[in-house]
Structures are given as structure tokens and as C-alpha cells.
Amino acid sequence: MFRLKLRIRRLFKTLFWVWPLFNLLSIFVPLHAQVPPKKVYMTMEEAIERALSQNNQVRASEFAVKRASWDRKNAWMQLLPDLSLNSRMTRIDNETFAQRDFRRYMPPEIAKQIPQTVFQLSYYTSFDVTVPLFDSALLNGLFITRANENMAQQLKESTRQNIIFQVISSYLNVLQGKEIFRLQEDYLELSKRNYEKAERLYKAGRYSKTEALRWKVEYQQQKSVVVENASILRSHMTHLNRLLNRSMHELIEIEGQIPQRLLSESETLTALSDVDILNLIPKDDESLIRANSALSAARSGEETSKYLYRNSYVSYLPNVSASYSYGWRENNTLALDDYSPTMFMVNLSVPIFTSFRNFTNLKSSYYEYKQSQEEFQDQLKNTRYVLTEIVNQIINLKTQKELSKTNTEYSEHNYRVVAQQKEKGLVSNIDFIDAKLNLQNAKLDEVNTHYDFITAMVELYYVLGKIDSIIE
């Protein structure tokens, strides 16, 4: 009993010293096990390069082109002859064999002189070659697969340009969000200092409670704006990560300013007159279709629908094929030891009546073709409408840029004047807050107008098929 108590006492002493050490380790290990994610610095060109190599849509379009290429090769292969080895085993019942083997009804000396041609268990082997001589479905299939390959290539280019446009737009959204967030943080810090100063003056009896609460409301509003802009910025970063096929939680550090290439292009566009900007839209439809890869892909789809419609007439046309067979006469052994008969045939197949299936299929294909024509014309007109809207937006933003710049200059001057007057007690606290808010809104408006103009320019170049010119 004494020994048991001694062991229990030693165990408690050990736990007394080990348990605090265990708690320290449990805190220390997770802190070091959680390695913070490493930031990756990426320019706009690097982001575009990664998106074009890693984005799932781009890679899917590349596979679609390869599939269409092999489909076209397969259509050509249909015109080549087919060679096959055919072998069969046949067993007939006793009654049928007795009826077919007429030798058993002859005298033995005569039956021996006649070769046996009917076997109860027989084998036959042959090589067969089949060649299509005239098959309009196979010939029309060449045109269909060529149109599909052209459409796949145009869709690949359309997807590529669309991803470039999305990456640039998302990159600009992140830059814009960061710049606005920095401005909002500066305004938040200023609002905090003004609020703290108002609290001190209120406690000293120099401010009324209304004035102090007005600064507190303004400070809380600014905090809410900062939180909202931080959330918007995170959303833009998440969208950029999605385009780059990166994890949503990975951190990307981008450039701190708009790439010089975009600024140069925006200055060139700003220097153009309104008439010159309007003339950027192609006048004729063919020029617009050649420039816009999405329209080119749509026209290839219309062409494919036309060939599918023509393919419906195939069911009314005859098919001609030739076949050649080289085999060994059927006998009762697997060995190829009998004489080899050869056979050459030309097959002609003409459809006469198919219960109107051909007619109904023809009408269905016709209206599908007319549908594709209307959809293509709608897409063409919609593209012209979008181009007109973009150009009008650019013209308006070009004017607003000058207005916002002048408004910012005026608001800065007015804020300095009001701040000096407030120090002398010549203006109220409300007038000073209004001047500060006007300056804040003017700067935000200038930033938004500047980025909106560049984004509209990028969208214009994308629709016109010139987006590569701003990244080369």
C-alpha cells in the first residue's frame, strides 16, 4: 500500500512539470506550421501570358481545334478502301444436311467421283475489299469537317482575345480598387483626426454635442466606405486569380500603376477628334467580320449549317460501291487447302420510298439553316450596336476627363481656402466637412473616369480585333 501511494505521488509530480511544457509546445508548433502564403509579383504581360497557357477555356479551345483537325482527316479516310479478313463456321442439323447432300442417294461408285460440296460442319475464310465509288454523304462530309475546323480555329482565337480582354480589365479593376482604397484610407485617417479633435474641443466646451456627433458620423461613414472598398478589391483579386487558374486564396502583387503601353494608347485615342473616333467602326460588314473573331466563328457556324442542310439531299441520291473478295472454298477443315474463288461486284443502291423520313429531315435541316442565318445577322447587328455604345462612351469619357481634372483642381483650392477660414473661425464645421467631401468625391471621380476611359478603350480594341496591339 505504501509503495502504491509513492508511485501515485511520483506520477503527479511528473505531470506537474510536463503539462506546462506540453501546453507551450501545443501553442508553438501550430504557429510555425502555418506558413503564410508567398506573394507572387506579376506584371500585366506576365498575367496575360499565364492566362493564355493555364486558363481552362483557352486550353479547351486548343483541344477543340485538334479534334476538328482529326475529324477532317477522318472524313478523308472514309474515301479509302476497306480491307477485312472474314471467317465463319457453320453447322447444320442432320435433317437439313440429309436433304442437301444428294451424294448419299447415288451409288457409291458414282458418289466417289463427285466432290463433296455440302458439309454438316464447315469453315469459310476470305479477304474482302470494299471501295466507295460514289457516296455524296462522304463527299459533303469533307466540306462539313472543313467548315467545323475553320469554326474551331475562329472560336479559339475568339476565346484567346476574350481572355486577354478579361485579364486586362480585371488587372485594371485591381489597380483602380487599390488606388481608391488608398484614397479612402487617407480620408479615413483624416476623419479620425478630425473626430478626435472634435471630441477634445467638445470636452473643453468649445464644440457643441451636435458638432461632435457630426464628426463621429462622418468618421463612421468613412470606416464603412473603407470596409466596402476592401471587399470590392478582394473580389477583383479573386476574379483575377480565377482567370489565371490560380487558387482563390493565393496572393498576387501587381504593378502600382497603369502599364505605360495602355497610357500611350489612351493618349493617342484622346488626341483624336470625335469624328475620327466614330470612324474607327468599320463601315462594311465584311471588314467587321474579318476583324472580329467571334463574328468569324459565327459565320463558320452558319456555313456548317448550310452544308448540313445540303447533306439532307444525300438521302435521295444513289450510292455506288465496288467490292472484291478472295477466299477459299468452304469445306470441313480450318486449313486453307481448297481452291480460291474470287469475286468482284459493283453495288448500286437507289432509295425509292422511305416513309417521308427524308423529306421531314430535309425540312428540319432547312429551317435550322435559316435559324443560323438569322442568329448570325442578329450577332452582327448587336456587335455594331455594342461598338457604337463603346465609341459614344469613349467620347463622353474624353470630355469628362477634362471636367474631372478641372473639378479636382477647384476642389483642392476650395478645401485649402475653407481650411484656412475654419482655423480663423470664419466658417462652420459643416461647411468644412462639405468642402472635404467635395474634394474627396472629386478625386474619386477623376480616378474612376481615368480608369473607365482606359477600360472602354481596351473593350473597343477587343471588339475590333486589335487587342494584341496594346500588349505587344
Phi first, then psi, for residue 220 (nearest 5°) are: -65, -35
Given a cut of 50, is residue 28 above it in pLDDT? no
Interatomic CA distance for residues 104 and 91, integer angstroms = 19
Residue-averaged pLDDT of the chain: 84
* Phi, psi of 106, rounded to the nearest 5 degrees: -105, 160
Domain map of the chain by residue range?
40-470
pLDDT single digits (tens) 393-435: 999 999 998 899 999 899 888 888 888 887 777 777 677 777 8
Question: For cell 508511485, what's the residue?
Answer: 7
Phi and psi, residue 378, nearest 5°: -65, -40
Please say if the pLDDT value at position 67 is more than 90: yes
Quote the CA–CA distance of 126 and 341 in Å, as a whole number. 9
Radius of gyration of the chain (CA): 41
Q: Which amino acid is at 365?
A: S
Residue 74 has a pLDDT of: 93
Does 18 score more than 60 pLDDT? Answer: no
C-alpha distance from residue 404 to each of 182, 259, 392, 407, 447 (Å): 19, 22, 18, 5, 9
The pLDDT of residue 390 is above 50? yes
pLDDT in tens, 72-105: 999 999 999 999 998 888 888 888 877 777 777 7
Under DSSP, the state recorded for 77 is H
What topology is assigned to 40-470 in CATH? Outer membrane efflux proteins (OEP) (1.20.1600)
Q: What element of type H or E holds 320?
A: strand 319-331
Distance of CA 104 to the CA centre of its chain: 77
Smallest CA-to-CA distance from 218 within 202, 198, 233 is with 198
Residue-level pLDDT at 8: 45
Structure confidence at residue 25 as a pLDDT band (50, 70, 90): very low
Residue 13, SS3 per DSSP: helix
Query: Residue 58 contacts by C-beta under 8 Å, 6 or more apart in sequence?
Result: 51, 52, 156, 159, 160, 163
The full DSSP string for 367-404 is HHHHHHHHHHHHHHHHHHHHHHHHHHHHHHHHHHHHHH
Strand partners for 130: 82, 323
DSSP class per residue in 322-369: EEEEEEEEEESSSS--S---EEEEEEEE-----TTHHHHHHHHHHHHH
- In the predicted model, is pLDDT for residue 311 greater than 90? no
Q: How confident is residue 10, by pLDDT bands cut at 50, 70 and 90?
A: low
Confidence of residue 38 (pLDDT cuts 50, 70, 90): low
User: Please, which residues have CB within 8 angstroms of residue 333's CB and are 6 or more apart in sequence?
Assistant: 123
**Could you tell me which of 272, 298, 303 has the C-alpha nearest to residue 285?**
298
pLDDT of residue 29: 42
Least confident piece of the model among 33-37, 95-99, 112-116, 170-174: 33-37
Among 290, 2, 44, smallest CA distance to 164 is for 44
The helix/strand/coil state of 91 is: strand
β pairing state of 40-42 and 252-254 = parallel
> Is 190's pLDDT higher than 90?
no
Asked if residue 220 has pLDDT above 80, the reply is yes
Contact by Cβ (8 Å): 92, 120: yes
pLDDT digits 0-9 by tens, 348-388: 988 887 778 888 888 999 999 999 999 999 999 999 999 99
